[in-house]
Amino acid sequence: MTTKPDRNLALELVRATEAAAIAAGRWMGRNNKEAGDQAAVDAMRQLLDTVDMDGVVVIGEGEKDEAPMLFNGEEVGSGNGPQTDIAVDPIDGTRLLAQGRPGSLAVLAMAPRGTMFNPGPMVYMNKWIVGADAKGAVDIDAPIKDNLARIAKAKGKAVNDLTVMMLDRDRHAGMAQDVRDAGARLRLIMDGDVAGGLLAAMPDKAVDVLIGIGGTPEGVTTACAIRALDGEMLGRLWARNDEETVAANEQGYDLDEVLTTERLVSSQDTFFVCTGVTTGDLVPGVNYTGSGVTTDSLCMRGKSGTVRYIRAIHTVEKLRELGAEGA
């Protein structure tokens, strides 16, 4: 019988994202995506094993033959405690980190065993994400103009006061023009749609909605945070080519299904944590000082709807404990 989490594991998981951010942050602007990501993976894995849980990575760094650690299906944690599904994104925004740009994060999410959607071969999905004040306003099959009008009405503002966030991709050219034609403000981001989704769902941030085609693994991870924020996420799997369509059909995926927040993670008892690597709109990045390092993190729990901001000051001794002293 599956044991459901009964404590706020986010407050334990944050040590793993802190370690990943500290290790990866020293690769900022050094134009080496792989090294920065590997530093984060190594540090995150070490700290995850200190958490009392029986975890299985559902959303990971790839299959076992492509990733040395934190691969799909890997067991993490002490082996004791609640049985959980784990989603890891040691660096959301590896290119942002490598190029020294804002907004890269170290990310972890968790839910009870068997409750996270497994995207299988489907790398991308079309997403709409809004906060609690616009919950129920989006129809994924409706024109963008109509959805933006409904979101604006729910928020009590004009469409031309809305801020829409979207990944800057060629595939979004038509969507971007639809947003402009509707009269809304458009903010294009280079990478990092986990952060973008949180910005759209959090009431104190200056983003009203995130739309567009982004990563399916990132969508599942974000859904764990949306549970805590009482926002709404709607998605649909998006095949890049005929091969992905065939693979999806063979494995039983319905490409027409609307993926709700509840479909992406069926339990309310979710945990989401992220730590800033490079400073962005969501949280500040890692700051190295003469005596240690400062990190800023977000910790969320779906069951209680609690969102915590945590600023941690790590001394040199603490860094040694985290195994994150340097690159």
Q: Which residues are annotated as a binding site for Mn(2+)?
A: 37, 61, 89, 92, 218
| Location of structure tokens 């195994």 | 323
Question: How far is it, in rounded angstroms, from Cα 220 to Cα 110?
Answer: 10
Beta 185-189 vs 163-167: how paired, if at all? parallel
Is 55 in contact with 84 (CB distance < 8 Å)?
A: yes
- Give the contacts of 164 (CB within 8 A, at least 6 positions apart): 148, 179, 184, 185, 186, 187, 207, 208, 209, 210, 211
Residue 116 gets which letter from DSSP? B
Annotated binding-site positions for substrate:
92-94, 124, 169-171, 191-193, 215
Question: How many C-beta atoms surround the C-beta of residue 320 within 10 A?
Answer: 11
Cite the annotated binding site by residue number: 37, 61, 89, 92-94, 124, 169-171, 191-193, 215, 218
User: 């306003």: which residue's tokens?
Assistant: 137
Residue whose tokens read 């991870």? 221
Run of H or E including 216: helix 216-229
Q: Beta partners for 215?
A: 124
Fill in the amino acid letter for 247.
A
